[in-house]
Chain A
Amino acid sequence: EVQLVQSGAEVKKPGESLKISCQDSGDSFTSHWIGWVRQMPGEGLEWMGIICPNDSDTRYSPTFQGQVTISADKSIGTAYLQWSRLRASDSAMYYCTKCGGGGICSDWGQGTLVTVSS
């Protein structure tokens, strides 16, 4: 049963802004954390940050602090990942995942491919 549904692939130019989404069709959105994970082409997984939709408590991995903004709207069960000014190096697949305490991330979205090219 698919619970996390991400927005579709995006093609953007450097300097443009972008906001991608992750909608939870389950009934436990506010009792878990939503994490965002980056996977660059041919590379491994990287934790970007996590948010508690219930109170919007947000934590960022040091690498991504100040580079992206994570938010959530619990009224519609949706989390977001946004950039104010994209760079070519932001081209990657981005996954959202629903996690319980201790990083128990059992549900994953299908991924959103972001391509940044002039």
Chain B
Amino acid sequence: QSALTQPRSVSGFPGQSVTISCTGSTSDVGGYDHVSWFQQYPGKAPTLLIFNVDKRPSGVPHRFSGSKSGNTASLTISGLQAEDEGDYYCSSYAGSLSLYVFGTGTEVTVL
């Protein structure tokens, strides 16, 4: 069971858009629509940003959006804000034996 692959870091200026990819296989991302995205600030617990590929929980700003194509899911942050700096993790269901798997994590920096 390998972690899903994310870029180590992405950066952008305030107001710009950034996209984080999350690449897996047909056994996880490509096989199920149970992809979630989490945001984590240093020293804090993760918080849910996106579930079921592209659904936002109430309270999550509309600038966060999710999508999926084949074995790769993506999180886009539109209109980047300073408060968006942090670590982002994708997660996917990987079947009854492997359970769930996280991505390797991406650090977002606002320049």
Contact = CB atoms under 8 A, between A and B. Distances in A.
B48 A105 contact: yes
Given A61-B98, A108-B46, A44 B34 contact: no
Given A103-B34, A105-B36, A106-B57, A59 B45 contact: no
A9 interface: no
B104 A106 contact: no
Most chain B beta carbons < 10 A, residue from A45, A46, A60, A111? A45
Interface in B74-111: 89, 91-93, 96-105
Chain B interface size, under 10 / 10 to 19 / 20 to 34 / 35 or more: 20 to 34
A102 B52 contact: yes
Given A45-B89, A111-B45, A102 B51 contact: yes
A53 interface: no
A88 B19 CA distance: 37
Interface string B32-43: 111010101000
Contacts of A109: 45
Contact of A44 (B52, B92, B104): B104
B87 to A, nearest CB: 8
Contacts of B51: 102-104, 106
B1 interface: yes
A37 B99 CA distance: 12
Contacts of A44: 3, 89, 102-105
Interface in A26-44: 35, 37, 44
Interface in A83-102: 95, 97, 102
Nearest to A109: B45
Given A47-B91, A61-B100, 12 more contacts: A44-B102, A46-B3, A50-B100, A60-B99, A61-B98, A61-B99, A62-B97, A95-B46, A103-B34, A103-B51, A103-B91, A109-B45
